[in-house]
């Protein structure tokens, strides 16, 4: 009888897909607010909050578990038997599935297998042909002073310059990045990040006080600084999601920040619109971020009114949201689509209206959707079958990313990046059973979240 091995786990598809909406430039050109000048600085000279994050670069995604990507027309003849394949996305989006411009690449060993990865083939001209782009060599003078994890080998490559044509029709826009290959062991895959070596900094006046401001393309590469996924650090405050699209509550007033495309200017504009209320679960809101077509709101920054919070009017969806229902805490998260997944319209199911209260509940029966195996995937006898599923709320079109029993603490509270304590509890993982067409039980047990 053929053996059948199954690796089972819930797929939490969240975290790689940042970037939002459309350019903020149009909003900044409407006038109003105050405009401030910003200067260009090297990220290697910055020593403020989140300095290590600034120098980490934008992480590229590996494609097809290390296999060549089917979209690429041609790869060069590799000298290594184990080249690394990947794809860098510029200007990713949460509210526009399929947005962003993808650049494929591969890393090779020019002297043969086991001799060291020293050639990067990057699709600069964006024609899906990696044979007509000059290979990128290892940098003769790599950046100094960057932290390296224990057991990690890193290789810096020469700077790459290329032009980005955005999917909204704008461009081309010049981009410069420094690639870095990181390998954590002889049997592990490679991770490639692309570091934007410069940032923009200056001072702005908000609510009568002067604040330091820094614009940078840290974990997400956007090219232009007016893209919503550009990182914006305001003063010495370490925010959990410090993006340009995040509206800030300063001295009880909401402000939005609108950089120019080149990042040499930034407009600060106060929000003077209407507010509504949101109730989440049975306890006051403590953790969550909502996103609309043109803004992101941190619920921890919103004014608390009983169990509700006051939010600028609009239609939202959760990026990450925590609900406390009785003794259970439920985590919701936006779903990340992988390359090749079917594109679908976004759902903004949280409607905030002027002077009205919106109560959020999970009253609809959740959907179980299997992401792996794929519908047409075949499995040979003895081959391991990886089973992954997501649990989705159909009304909000978001993932149920975790369920915890708040009567059972696990460990001490941990601090969020902004200093807020967060207590973890014992997780309530779903019980599943996989049954074959013959009725035989192939596997059963817990399918953990994450």
Tell me: do 96 and 186 sit in the same domain: yes
- Of 249, 270, 291, which marks where a domain is finished? 270
Tell me: do 213 and 188 sit in the same domain: no
Mean pLDDT by 10 residues, the chain (450 residues): 38 38 41 89 83 83 73 94 90 67 93 92 95 95 72 88 86 92 77 92 93 89 90 81 90 94 95 91 75 87 87 90 84 70 75 91 81 76 80 85 89 74 85 84 81
Tell me: do 149 and 75 sit in the same domain: yes
In a domain, 144, yes or no: yes
- Of 146, 167, 195, which marks where a domain is finished? 195
Tell me: do 434 and 290 sit in the same domain: yes
In a domain, 6, yes or no: no
Tell me: do 294 and 416 sit in the same domain: yes
Q: Residue with structure tokens 């059973």?
A: 433
Tell me: do 261 and 148 sit in the same domain: no
Tell me: do 280 and 396 sit in the same domain: yes
Quote the domain boundaries for residue 385: 274-446
Rounded CA gap, 187 and 185, in Å?
A: 6
Rounded CA gap, 104 and 101, in Å?
A: 10
Tell me: do 230 and 114 sit in the same domain: no
In a domain, 334, yes or no: yes
Rounded CA gap, 22 and 91, in Å?
A: 10
Q: Residue with structure tokens 């992480």?
A: 59
Instruction: Specify the number of domains making up the chain.
Output: 3
In a domain, 66, yes or no: yes
Rounded CA gap, 82 and 87, in Å?
A: 17
Tell me: do 441 and 303 sit in the same domain: yes
Q: Shortest CA distance to 296 belongs to which of 278, 317, 310, 281? A: 317
User: Phi and psi of 301, rounded to 5°?
Assistant: -90, -5
In a domain, 215, yes or no: yes
Tell me: do 403 and 344 sit in the same domain: yes
Rounded CA gap, 41 and 198, in Å?
A: 6
Token pair recorded at residue 76: 């060069």
Tell me: do 388 and 437 sit in the same domain: yes
In a domain, 19, yes or no: no
Residues 6 or more apart in contact with residue 132 via CB below 8 angstroms = 125
Rounded CA gap, 294 and 441, in Å?
A: 48
Token pair recorded at residue 266: 């930034």
Asked if the bond preceding 238 is cis, omega within 30° of 0, the reply is no
Tell me: do 288 and 431 sit in the same domain: yes
- Going from the C-alpha of 384 to that of each of 3, 434, 440, the distances in angstroms are 9, 14, 17
- Of 165, 195, 225, which marks where a domain is finished? 195
Q: State the pLDDT at residue 265.
A: 96
Burial (Cβ within 10 Å: 0-12, 13-18, ≥19) of residue 407: exposed
In a domain, 330, yes or no: yes
In a domain, 52, yes or no: no
Q: Residue with structure tokens 């526009």?
A: 96
Rounded CA gap, 90 and 214, in Å?
A: 20
């Amino acid at each position: 009888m053929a053996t059948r091995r199954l690796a089972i786990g819930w797929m939490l598809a969240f975290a790689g897909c940042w970037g939002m909406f459309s350019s903020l430039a149009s909003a900044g050109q409407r006038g109003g607010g105050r405009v401030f000048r910003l200067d260009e600085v090297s990220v290697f000279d910055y020593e403020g909050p989140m300095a290590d994050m600034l120098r980490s670069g934008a992480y590229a995604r590996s494609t097809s578990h290390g296999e060549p990507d089917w979209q690429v027309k041609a790869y060069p003849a590799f000298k290594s038997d184990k080249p690394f394949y990947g794809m860098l996305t510029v200007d990713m989006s949460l509210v526009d599935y399929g947005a962003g411009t993808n650049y494929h690449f591969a890393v090779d060993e020019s002297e043969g297998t086991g001799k060291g990865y020293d050639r990067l083939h990057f699709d600069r001209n964006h024609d899906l042909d990696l044979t007509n782009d000059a290979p990128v060599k290892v940098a003769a003078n790599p950046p100094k002073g960057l932290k390296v994890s224990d057991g990690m080998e890193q290789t810096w490559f020469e700077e790459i310059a290329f032009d980005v044509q955005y999917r909204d029709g704008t461009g081309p826009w010049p981009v410069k990045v420094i690639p870095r290959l990181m390998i954590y062991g002889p049997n592990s895959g490679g991770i490639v990040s692309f570091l934007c070596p410069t940032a923009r900094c200056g001072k702005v006046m908000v609510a009568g006080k002067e604040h330091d401001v820094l614009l940078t393309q840290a974990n997400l590469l956007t090219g232009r600084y007016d893209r919503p996924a550009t990182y914006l650090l305001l003063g010495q405050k370490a925010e959990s999601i410090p993006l340009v699209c995040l509206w800030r509550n300063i001295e009880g007033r909401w402000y939005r920040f609108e950089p120019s495309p080149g990042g040499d200017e930034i407009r600060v504009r106060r929000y003077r619109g209407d507010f509504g209320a949101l109730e989440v679960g049975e306890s006051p809101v403590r953790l969550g971020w909502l996103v609309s077509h043109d803004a992101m709101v941190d619920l921890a920054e919103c004014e608390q009114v009983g169990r509700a919070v006051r939010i600028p009017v609009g239609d939202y969806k959760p990026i990450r949201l925590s609900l406390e229902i009785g003794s259970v805490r439920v985590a919701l998260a936006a779903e990340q689509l992988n390359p090749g997944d079917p594109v679908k319209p976004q759902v903004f199911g949280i409607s905030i209206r002027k002077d009205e209260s919106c109560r959020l509940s999970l009253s609809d029966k959740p959907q179980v959707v299997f992401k792996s195996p794929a519908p047409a995937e075949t499995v040979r006898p003895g081959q391991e079958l990886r089973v992954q599923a997501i649990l989705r709320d159909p009304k909000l079109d978001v993932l149920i990313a975790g369920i915890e029993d708040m009567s059972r603490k696990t460990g001490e509270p941990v601090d969020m990046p902004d200093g807020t304590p967060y207590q973890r509890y014992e997780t309530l993982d779903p019980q599943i059973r996989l049954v074959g067409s013959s009725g035989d039980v192939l596997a059963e047990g817990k399918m953990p979240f994450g």
